[in-house]
Amino acid sequence: MTGREVQLEPSWLAHLGKEFDQAYMQELRDFLRAEKAAGKRIFPRGSEFFSAFSHTPLADVKVVILGQDPYHGEGQAHGLCFSVQPGVKVPPSLKNIYKEINAELGLPIPTHGHLTAWASQGVLLLNSVLSVECAQAASHQGKGWERFTDKVIEVINREREGVVFLLWGSYAQRKGAIIDTERHCVLKAPHPSPLSAHRGFFRCGHFAAANHYLQGRGQAPVDWSLPAEA
């Protein structure tokens, strides 16, 4: 996995290309190859590891939602955090996200979980870890992805200004600790998981607050509704 091999969107590649030549990324590449050689199924597909960057070029980033790991169920993950492929049942955490958007903005609750419409508006849907073994939650943690996505956050923090970071849960909040709150808007709440959503995710007001902040800077708000699934 070198900078030449990875099909990373050009604006991101300009800032992240050197990471692929680092030893930790070479070790990650070797790990992924060994897992595949052992017959293990990895989600999402390799061509979708970096989908979040393809959908949201660096210059377009105005909101970052930070997840942890890809979904490990069959046919779910496609490289955008909290998002699932068309035709897949909406996961519980995403259902709670929809409920909060409905409560804040009065938008209808979508019937699908495919979030590319958000990504195309500048919402970077970034997981901390970009791959996982089928049916083995958190199986690719500690293999190097976290260092890469820390670099992603560092690049956004440095190269952009006025980005809204939605940090849900202690994991995301720790990872986002480097963000300069003088230059960016950082909103924190518990994770939308059914285990924690009632401890403060519901009624957090993040979606309305993000749009208020963006509009205050003369930017277009995010349309948090989703088109009907094709």
Active site residues: 69
3-state DSSP call for residue 198? helix
Cα(219)–Cα(210) distance, integer angstroms: 11
Tokens of 217: 């800077």
* Measured distance CA(65)–CA(45) in Å, rounded: 21
Q: For 146-159, give one letter per residue: b (16+ CB within 10 A) or e.
A: bebbeebbebbbee
- E strands in the chain: 42-43, 63-67, 123-127, 132-133, 164-168, 185-189
**Residues comprising the chain, all counted:** 230
